[in-house]
Amino acid sequence: MVRKLRVGSRESKLAVVQSQIIIDCIKKHHPDLEIEFITMKTTGDKILDKALDKIGGKGLFVKELDKALIENKIDIAIHSLKDMPMEINKELPIIAYSKREDPRDVLILPKDNLELNPDRPIGCSSLRRTLQIKKLYPDMQIKPIRGNVLTRLDKLDQGEFSALILAAAGIKRLKLEERITKEFTIQESLPAAGQGILAIQGRKGEDYSFLSCVNDNESEIAALCERAFVRELNGGCSSPIAAFATIENERIVLNCMYEDGKKMTFYDEPRNAEELGRFAANYKTPSKGKVWLVGAGPSDPELLTVKGKRLIENAEVVVYDRLVGDGILSLISKKAKKIYVGKESGNHAVRQDRINEILLEEACKGQKVVRLKGGDPFVFGRGGEELELLVKHNIPFEIVPGITSSIAVAAYNGIPVTYRDFCSSLHIITGHKKKDEPLDIDFEALVRTKGTLVFLMSVASLKDICEGLLQAGMKPTMPAAILENGTKAHQRKVISTVSELSLAAEKAEIKSPSIIVVGEVCSLSDKFSWYDKNVLSGCKVAVTRPKELSSKLSELLREKGAEVLELPCIVTERIPNNETLYSCMKEIENFQWIVLTSPTGARIFFEELSSYRVDIRKLNQLKFAVIGKGTSQVLEDKGIYPELMPKVYQGKELGGILSQSIKEGDKILIPRARQGAKELIEELSKTKCIIYDIPTYDTLYQESMSELEIEFENAEIDYAIFTSASTVKGFAQAHKNLNLKKVKAICIGQKTKQTADEYQMQTYVSKEATLESLVECLEQQFQNKEQSMLNT
């Protein structure tokens, strides 16, 4: 490691303060290292009478420092990442990223002023901020302002402006927090790419491993994603675009704004940070839209590709087929336009040429269109036909392959389509034929291959297919199978021979969608059968809890073989600009107890704690009381273990045991849903404590997919799982036309069961108020049902 380090920086006070943060970190971890600090005035600092985009952009803030690095006058340069150009000298890479300071924008009024003066403009040097601030203050004028932070504040206090819009990071690093009048939320004013992050630049090929003490992994991931988005759009100081990325629940969330002011959110794995930024940039273009042909696979949402899932969740328009599974359709955003173009044998809801036109029309509106097709788009999916019109009109498109049912459905029924002892080839054939016309299949050629034959779209042609194979010389005893609803809970199979399969399928009343498999491999089905051996195989379950909470429960159910349909009936929305909560947060150390009544309430509490920049160490002396293991788990993930949790997970029970533990005058903070149950407060009100019952989120009902009502009516969905009384109410609200007496409801506790009983559902309650106990309850009821069917 070098023994002397020369650090370069701009000479403004903020730049010096920011550089000192990095220098102090390096000194702490490398006390023997001698550090020389060198400052210089850049061209961008010298020219203050012209807008930045008129004199060369952000590159003017790094030009002199770049030169100093190249000439070996300094060893590293420290910059505000948002002030760096998107394209940097490849010989001078960014080698470390600091932990991010508050990324938000803030409003600052002149000293001793409490409100905006409409006769003076707001000072704002950024087109990005200007575009967003105009929406917040439509009656105010906005005027450009240059200079460093202190210079701008002087101009403000001298009366040139009614307010300034600045970055919170710079204000807080200068210890000027008292000047902040309002902190805009990320939704109100989306930050510039890299805002709040310090970037350390060095020379290519040199050893900077000692800077690992500075580099923050989350900041690096966010920076790569944000800058990739801006760079892909050729953005800079002259473009009103914005990007802000965070890591949440082990995935990267990118919020971005385009030149027209439209904002969107995208998700991916952190390792795909730059790819996500580029994807988001190309996803929204001002001129024309784009079409993605996405293979939905056979039906099981867990067989969907990662890319396909991301596209479906972010699509503005989804054009989908009949064979796309309910679980996959539930991934579509509520904001997206859904267009059904499904086809059945002899009944085309929409003609193929019209489907082609729909894709073109929606793309020409500037929409991002996902054409969602069962299986793979190019395996008898007519994907090529749908591309012809797009190519003719220069509409950009992508193909996302899917798992074809010819392989997946066979596998789910224990049939390996290739097996060394039986065959050396696989052939996929369409069994579809035009009305009153014979099948256009060379059966003799197929028989000669001695390979496995898989016929798709073939239920109506089953008899003709079997006869054609027999007439072409296939032995009558050749094993054959017809597989219905493959990969779904209620999948069925008929294993027979080519000579007997048609009659066997007719007797079993096999219907579409089904595939036909012919070959010796069908004899392995019973031996290799696996799907129907899981405890919940054959069970289709609707999970009704909010989308952000459903993953663990869905995982537990799928592990036991259930087909899971995530059907969130409620959505939680954080209450914005929560001044009452903010007042409590500022004095959090003066409370004795914090009461959290749900996982959502706990999650939002910590999010707000972070949003208000409250140091978690201020919770050191506080005690926590919670309802439920899920809520406790949110705390435990933060390294905090609750002092109280009732055995019965109800507000009244918690209020009772908490009343025995609190002292007179104790201050209790209860951040929870606006619609929170009264019993908790009624119990605590019997004591002489001071209660702050503060709503932090609203619970709203979600609309459901109306087509699912038919599945409940026909008992195709076996059970619905409810984790709270609100999910029951949300379900009832979303399915007003459904006879709720037909719904078998698995409930997490007595209060949930009581609400379901009020709607006359068939109710079952878990022994404990845990997800594991819920699954056990479902398992028991399903086994009882299966046994009852066997007995009859």
Q: Report the CATH number at residue 564.
A: 3.40.50.10090
| 173-182, 237-246, 314-323: the lowest-pLDDT one | 237-246
Query: What does the pLDDT read at residue 61?
Result: 59
The closest alpha carbon to 254, from 232, 290, 289, 223, belongs to: 223
Same domain, 172 and 70: no
Residue 217 pLDDT more than 80? Answer: yes
Q: How confident is the model at residue 357 (pLDDT cuts 50, 70, 90)?
A: confident
Domain boundary among 244, 266, 284: 284
Same domain, 364 and 392: yes
On whether residue 547 sits in a domain, the answer given is: yes
| 272-286, 467-481, 491-505, 721-735: the lowest-pLDDT one | 272-286
The DSSP annotation for 81-131 comes to GGGS-SS--TTS-EEEEPPP----EEEEPPTT--S--TTSPEE---HHHHH
Query: What does the pLDDT read at residue 56?
Result: 45
- Point out the catalytic residue in the list 300, 321, 376, 666: 321
On whether residue 188 sits in a domain, the answer given is: no
Identity (one letter) of the amino acid at 633?
Answer: Q
Same domain, 525 and 429: yes
Task: List 480's β-bridge partners, or say none.
Answer: 496, 518
Same domain, 234 and 353: no
Q: Report the CATH number at residue 305.
A: 3.40.1010.10
Query: What does the pLDDT read at residue 429?
Result: 94
Query: CA-to-CA distance for 369 and 390, rounded, in angstroms?
Result: 12
Domain boundary among 701, 720, 749: 701
Which structure tokens are listed for 63? 């030009």
**DSSP 3-state of 530:** coil
Q: What is the pTM of this model?
A: 0.59
Whats the size of the chain, residue-wise? 792
On whether residue 40 sits in a domain, the answer given is: yes
Same domain, 255 and 241: yes
Same domain, 375 and 443: no
Q: Report the CATH number at residue 470.
A: 3.30.950.10
Domain of residue 233: give its range: 216-284
pLDDT per residue over 585-622, tens digit each?
A: 888 999 999 999 988 899 999 988 888 888 888 898 89
Same domain, 220 and 206: no
Domain boundary among 247, 267, 284: 284
Q: Report the CATH number at residue 169.
A: 3.40.190.10
**DSSP 3-state of 191:** coil
Query: CA-to-CA distance for 526 and 185, rounded, in angstroms?
Result: 59
Query: What does the pLDDT read at residue 140?
Result: 93
On whether residue 54 sits in a domain, the answer given is: yes
pLDDT per residue over 89-142, tens digit each?
A: 999 999 999 999 999 999 999 998 888 999 999 999 888 999 999 999 999 999
On whether residue 657 sits in a domain, the answer given is: yes
343 is catalytic: yes
Query: What does the pLDDT read at residue 54?
Result: 46
List of E strands, 158-262:
163-167, 182-183, 198-201, 242-248, 251-257
pLDDT per residue over 56-78, tens digit each?
A: 444 455 788 999 999 999 999 99
On whether residue 393 sits in a domain, the answer given is: yes
Residue 459 pLDDT more than 50? Answer: yes
On whether residue 665 sits in a domain, the answer given is: yes
Mean pLDDT of the 390-417 span: 93
726, 737 Cβ separation under 8 angstroms: no
- Nearest-Å Rg of the Cα atoms of the chain is 32
Q: What is the mean pLDDT of the chain?
A: 89
- Point out the catalytic residue in the list 284, 343, 433, 729: 343
The helix (run of H) or strand (run of E) holding residue 155 is helix 149-157
Total of domains in the chain: 7
Same domain, 206 and 82: yes
pLDDT per residue over 9-41, tens digit each?
A: 998 899 999 999 999 999 999 998 999 999 988
Same domain, 682 and 589: yes
24, 159 Cβ separation under 8 angstroms: no
Same domain, 174 and 279: no
Same domain, 310 and 395: yes
286, 260 Cβ separation under 8 angstroms: yes
Q: How confident is the model at residue 540 (pLDDT cuts 50, 70, 90)?
A: very high
Q: Report the CATH number at residue 268.
A: 3.30.160.40
Q: How confident is the model at residue 161 (pLDDT cuts 50, 70, 90)?
A: very high
Same domain, 235 and 148: no
Q: How confident is the model at residue 789 (pLDDT cuts 50, 70, 90)?
A: low
The helix (run of H) or strand (run of E) holding residue 361 is helix 352-364
Share of the chain above pLDDT 90, in %: 60
Query: What does the pLDDT read at residue 344?
Result: 55
On whether residue 534 sits in a domain, the answer given is: no
